[in-house]
């Protein structure tokens, strides 16, 4: 299938409350991941690696940093028809409100897509970590003469209640679909899955939130259901019940939904494993991001184990273990970082400013003799000397003066200043 027949739409999501405070000043797709990337880089990279080069990103909350990232990163030459464009919620004669859900966001943006020739619309989520060749899904869509194809993955009972769950027939067509079933009704939604998944207790076929619609089918679906606002809750069940040819495309590789602080934390730390499930070191499936032209990282006297270190860092820490250290991070002498995400800094602080630092107003970065464990330290945080920040399951969720706690993980919000000797 020619990639020119496809337009990709990446859903930026709503307020991102489950990822707060990481979404306090930025939209979900703009949240940093893996030390140097943004979440939106994942679906965009998958599109580019699949030779799909017409991409819209739909967003409405805190979109300034996302706009800057897109503008500074994805520029095609003047002889190409490719683009990555931000579409923010806008008022028109037909729509006077903000996006009300995933389907409503696409509906309100359709008039922009009509300016480009296409036969299919590929709808993607902006908060997932995975690598997929969408061309294979497109080929399966055409082979099945489908009106809609839903990417699916086996999940266990605990996870199934958070997804759209479906049952398919022997030909791979979806016959029944339910959005976020209760534990009581799960038993009847078990599916036949490959043996490795069955051994892991993954007996339920879940929607990944990745869809391919035929263009005319999508338009008619919106016209027939003007009040529907969500794909999973409303439009996909209507497609199945209405006799449309709805197919499942079973995806067998690594995929994780980054919708909560816990899932974000675990997915990032997993990137530091010896052989991570998500491969950043692939010769063909590149993960693209902004080319910042930063210097190499510099480390002095540091013992590291399972550490992912981005560019531009100056590190004199004693030990870094199973952690992700982002761009331009500065970590002082004798400090220990373990099971943590240090997002780094937006700028280099010059030497004069660092020398002017005071105990109550430390320099940007992490000071000397600090101990940081089970934490997410957002961008541009100033942590003084002898600071101790230790997360753990014993902590109750809450919002505090210098930090937030979610599922035992301590989050220090962007730009926070923590004086010398503070213990959290």
- How big is the CA angle at 104 (ends 99 and 109), to the nearest 5 degrees? 85
CB 105 within 8 A of CB 58: yes
CB 404 within 8 A of CB 411: yes
What was the pLDDT predicted at 95?
A: 55
Q: Is the pLDDT of residue 223 over 60?
A: yes
What was the pLDDT predicted at 89?
A: 64
DSSP, collapsed to helix, strand or coil, labels residue 405 as: strand
Q: How far apart are CA 373 and CA 393, in angstroms?
A: 12
Q: What is the pLDDT of residues 246-269, one digit of tens each?
A: 999 999 899 998 989 999 999 999
Question: Percentage of the chain surpassing pLDDT 70?
Answer: 95
What was the pLDDT predicted at 188?
A: 87
Tell me what the pLDDT averaged over the chain comes to: 90
CB 77 within 8 A of CB 162: no
- Nearby residues of 34 by Cβ (< 8 Å), 6 or more positions away: 268, 271, 280, 287, 308, 324
| Bridge-based pairing state of the strands 409-412 and 404-406 | antiparallel
What was the pLDDT predicted at 1?
A: 44
Taking the CB of residue 13, how many other CB atoms lie within 10 A of it? Answer: 24
Q: How far apart are CA 304 and CA 292, in angstroms?
A: 25
Q: What is the pLDDT of residues 346-378, one digit of tens each?
A: 999 988 888 888 999 999 999 999 999 999 999
| Residue 21: cis peptide before it, omega within 30 degrees of 0 | yes
Q: How many residues can be counted in the chain?
A: 424
What was the pLDDT predicted at 343?
A: 97
H-helix or E-strand spanning residue 353: helix 351-355
How large is the average pLDDT for residues 97-103?
Answer: 70
CB 272 within 8 A of CB 175: no
Q: Is the pLDDT of residue 322 over 70?
A: yes
- Binning pLDDT at 50, 70 and 90, where does residue 97 land? low
Q: Is the pTM of this model over 0.85?
A: yes
What was the pLDDT predicted at 15?
A: 66
**77-81, 151-155, 349-353, 385-389: the lowest-pLDDT one:** 77-81
Of 332, 297, 303, nearest in space to 320 by CA: 303
Q: How far apart are CA 213 and CA 118, in angstroms?
A: 11
Q: How far apart are CA 309 and CA 297, in angstroms?
A: 8
Q: How far apart are CA 313 and CA 299, in angstroms?
A: 8
DSSP state of 29: G
- Nearby residues of 175 by Cβ (< 8 Å), 6 or more positions away: 167, 168, 169, 240
Q: How far apart are CA 161 and CA 206, in angstroms?
A: 10
H-helix or E-strand spanning residue 69: helix 64-73
Q: How far apart are CA 336 and CA 307, in angstroms?
A: 12
Q: Which domains are assigned to the chain?
A: 3-270 (3.90.550.10), 298-418 (2.160.10.10)
Question: Percentage of the chain surpassing pLDDT 90?
Answer: 61
- Binning pLDDT at 50, 70 and 90, where does residue 18 land? confident
Helix runs in 161-249, H state only = 195-199, 215-224, 236-241
For tokens 């306090």, what's the residue?
Answer: 24
């Amino acid at each position: 299938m020619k990639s020119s027949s496809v337009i990709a739409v990446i859903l930026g999501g709503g307020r991102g409350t489950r990822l707060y405070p990481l979404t306090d000043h930025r939209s979900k797709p703009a949240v940093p991941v893996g030390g140097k990337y943004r979440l939106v880089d994942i679906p965009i990279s998958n599109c580019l690696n699949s030779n799909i080069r017409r991409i819209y990103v739909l967003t409405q909350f805190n979109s300034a940093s996302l706009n800057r990232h897109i503008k500074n990163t994805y520029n095609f030459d003047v002889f190409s028809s490719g683009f990555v464009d931000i579409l923010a919620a806008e008022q028109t004669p037909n729509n006077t409100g903000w996006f009300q859900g995933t389907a409503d966001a696409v509906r309100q943006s359709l008039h922009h897509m009509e300016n480009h020739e296409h036969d299919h619309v590929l709808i993607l989520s902006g908060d997932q970590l995975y690598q997929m060749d969408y061309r294979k899904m497109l080929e399966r869509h055409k082979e099945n003469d489908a009106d809609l194809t839903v990417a699916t993955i086996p999940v266990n009972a605990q996870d199934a209640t958070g997804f759209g769950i479906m049952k398919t027939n022997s030909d791979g067509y979806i016959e029944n679909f339910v959005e976020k079933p209760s534990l009581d009704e799960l038993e009847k939604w078990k599916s036949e899955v490959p043996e490795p998944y069955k051994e892991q207790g993954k007996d339920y076929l879940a929607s990944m939130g990745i869809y391919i619609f035929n263009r005319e089918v999508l338009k008619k679906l919106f016209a027939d259901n003007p009040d529907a606002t969500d794909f999973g809750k409303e439009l996909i069940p209507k497609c199945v019940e209405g006799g449309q040819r709805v197919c499942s495309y079973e995806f067998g590789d690594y995929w994780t939904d980054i919708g909560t602080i816990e899932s974000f934390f675990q997915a990032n730390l997993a990137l530091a494993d010896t052989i991570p499930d998500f491969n950043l070191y692939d010769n063909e499936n590149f993960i693209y991001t902004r080319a910042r032209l930063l210097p190499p990282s510099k480390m002095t006297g540091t013992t590291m184990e399972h550490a992912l270190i981005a560019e531009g860092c100056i590190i004199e820490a004693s030990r870094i273990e199973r952690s992700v250290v982002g761009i331009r991070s500065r970590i002082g002498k004798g400090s220990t970082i373990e099971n943590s995400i240090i997002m780094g800094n937006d700028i280099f602080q010059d030497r004069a400013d660092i020398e002017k630092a005071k105990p109550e107003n430390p320099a940007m970065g992490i000071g000397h003799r600090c101990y940081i464990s089970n934490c997410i330290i957002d961008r541009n945080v100033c942590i003084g000397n002898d600071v101790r920040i230790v997360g753990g399951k014993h902590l109750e969720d809450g919002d505090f003066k210098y930090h937030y706690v979610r599922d035992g993980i301590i989050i220090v919000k962007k730009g926070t200043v923590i004086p010398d000797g503070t213990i959290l």
